[in-house]
Amino acid sequence: MSIVLTFTHAGFTTALYNDAIKKLEAAGAGAPKGRTFHVAYGDPENLSITDVWDNAEDFQAFGQTLLPILGALGVDPGAPAISPVHNTIFG
């Protein structure tokens, strides 16, 4: 079952986000298996992230790469809000 996750990171600036993306790409995790949608949005000093994943297992596998990267940057991701996806419309 697809899930949507929303993270709100206090102090997660665009600079930290850009660093995290570069490190994920360098680790080969820039386009992880199972992630169908990613958006970073909001206040440039406190970005929010919303992802849609095919399933929780793929997200958990990605977390094994993501969490050490965020930790090295001093970002506490906290716990995401997780909900099942009811419907997706593209375009």
Report the pLDDT value the prediction gives residue 13, as an integer from 0 to 100.
97
Supply the pLDDT for residue 77.
Answer: 86
CATH of the domain spanning 3-84:
3.30.70.100
Series of mean pLDDT values for 10-residue runs along the chain (91 residues): 92 97 98 97 96 98 97 93 94 89
Decide if 33 contacts 86 (C-beta within 8 A). Answer: no
Residue 84's Cα: distance from chain center in Å?
16
The confidence score (pLDDT) of residue 51 equals 98
Q: 26: how many CB neighbours lie within 10 A of its CB?
A: 10
The counts of H helices and E strands in the chain are: 2, 4
pLDDT in the model for residue 20 = 98
Q: What's the pLDDT score for residue 52?
A: 98
Q: Which residues of 40-62 are buried (b: 16+ CB within 10 A; e: fewer)?
A: beeeeeebebbbbbeeeebbeeb
